[in-house]
Structure 1
Amino acid sequence: MRTARLFFIALALFSLSAQAQWAGPSTQRAGKWETNFGLYLTSSESSDGLNESSVDIDSGYGFGFGVGYNFTQHLALRFDGAWSRADYDAILDTEDEGLVEINHRLSAFTGQFNGVWNILEGPFTPYLQAGIGWTFLDSNVTDGPPTTGCWWDPWWGYICSGFYSTYNETNFSYNVGAGLRYEFGRGMFVRGGWERTAIDGGSGADPEFDAFRAEIGWLF
């Protein structure tokens, strides 16, 4: 969290001092759509829940993508998605066995509708964002016996396989973020930034985590 705060403060100070130097000629992102993809890295996080339950999530990695529309040179609306995986240790309060410790790997997908303010009009600009959406968390821990399904294959005949259901949930989440963006010729751009996402767990555990994006995109 300290690193994220320092990054945000430094970015805000830099954006104020850079306006005159980097304003430059205006690019034509206003009225255009854009799409992007790239790396997505998450920080470690710990959260305590009800009845001594808790979860400790290691830093993780994955990929991010997005699509958006630029209403003006400054204002844009985007949908940003990200998939990531991370190892975790959890203590769960169960009805039959009491407190149970789990060590596994978490899969997560986050989708957010973000309002973005590009501070400068030129090809280089810091940006600020805020948005709401949802986060899907999959513990990858089975919640019961497998379900067996069978189907006919024209080459191999009948094939049967087991499918496992896992403990998972989808929760409301929201974020704030900041970053830097630079637009090249031919509609290409790169951007990188930090975002802080908070998840409404609904059970006393409301984890928050920092994430960092490094992405390449195109205007069209």
Structure 2
Amino acid sequence: MIVIKGTVTAAVASVLALSSTMATADRGNKYEFSLQVPYLYDESIDFDGGASVKVNSDAGFGFSAGYNYSDNVNLRGSFTWNSTSYDAARVLDDGNNTVETFGGVFDSFSASLVGDYYFLEGPFTPFVSANLGWTAVDSNIAAGPPNSVCWWDPWWGYICDAYQPTYGEDSLSYGIGAGVRFDISQRHFIRAGYYERWVDVDNAIDDPAFGTLSVEFGFMY
């Protein structure tokens, strides 16, 4: 085990030393855009009254757009979507505190302002980041009977449609992250990192922390 740890440490040190001798990445004063594949890890949430939810792991999608103020500092907006299954338990107010279990799929959207700091000016660099934003969750659990709405359309005439109100919540979210970035060329890059995001969920005993592994493919201009 000691030999393996020593080998990994030496390999990381060699990569960092090599990166420090490489030419600068020339990403400063450039805008960037990337497509993201965020993988959300499972998380359990305990609520007031004994209710609980286990969010299952799943992949989502997203994009980010930002500006590199220098080779070391980047500020970007990140937007991600996930549709994730969950297993939950609710406590019935029946005098016996009967626990009822159920499952479903919820949809979530997060918009965050992310600041990245790159330790090296070369094409390959580790980084740390912090984020602050907003997360919206739709439980897809009915909050009332279906409603219908009708209107006159200029192309299709008189149309009626139905929609189902559902329980949802908008919450403040914040977090930190770390990872590596590799500028493949002066215009293209790959960024991979692990991010921990806390969401201020109403009635939760503690703010749940959602871990996400994100891989991005982007370009600069």
Q: TM-score, normalised by structure 2?
A: 0.86
**1-structure distance, mates of 2:51, 2:11:** 42
Question: Quick one: distance in 2 between partners of 1:126 and 1:12?
Answer: 15
Which moves more between the two structures, 187-196 or 13-22?
13-22
Runs of 4+ that moved beyond 6 A: 11-15, 94-98
Structure 2 Cα separation of the partners of residues 80 and 118 of structure 1: 17
Given the alignment of the two structures, is residue 127 of structure 1 paired with residue 158 of structure 2, yes or no? no
Cα-Cα RMSD: 2.3
Task: Give the distance between the partners of 2:67 and 2:106, measured in 1 at CA.
Answer: 32
Query: What amino acid maps onto 1:192 in structure 2?
Result: A
**Unaligned residue ranges in structure 1 (runs of 5+):** 1-10
Which residue of structure 1 lines up, in the alignment, with residue 85 of structure 2?
A: 87
Cα pair 1:36 1:217 within 8 Å, conserved: yes
Contact 1:64/1:213, CA 8 A, preserved across alignment? no
The percentage of counterpart residues that share the same residue type is 35
- Inter-partner Cα distance in structure 1 for 2:133 and 2:111: 6
Q: Find the residue that maps to 1:51 and give its secondary structure.
A: helix
User: Residues 107 and 139 of structure 1 are in contact (CA less than 8 Å); yes or no, is this contact kept in structure 2?
Assistant: yes
Partner of 1:38: 36
Counterpart-to-counterpart distance in 2, 1:15 and 1:174: 29
Superposition pairs for residues 69-84 of structure 1, below 5 Å?
A: 69-84=67-82
- Specify whether residues 191 and 137 from structure 1 end up closer, same or farther in structure 2 by C-alpha distance, changes over 3 A only: same
In the alignment, structure 1 residue 105 sits paired with structure 2 residue 92 = no
Could you say which residue in structure 2 is the equivalent of 1:4?
none
Tell me, in whole angstroms, the C-alpha distance in 2 between the residues paired with 1:27 and 1:186.
7
Report the CA distance between 1:103 and its aligned residue. Answer: 1.2
**1:66 corresponds to which letter in structure 2?**
S
CA contact (8 A) 1:35 1:68 kept: yes
- Inter-CA distance 15–176: structure 2 relative to 1 (3 Å threshold): farther
The residue number in structure 2 matching 1:138 is 138
Contact preservation (8 Å) 2:36, 2:64: no
Give the distance between the partners of 1:12 and 1:165, measured in 2 at CA.
Answer: 54
Instruction: Return the offset for 1:75.
Output: 1.1
State how many pairs are aligned. 210
**Correspondence for 1:6:** none
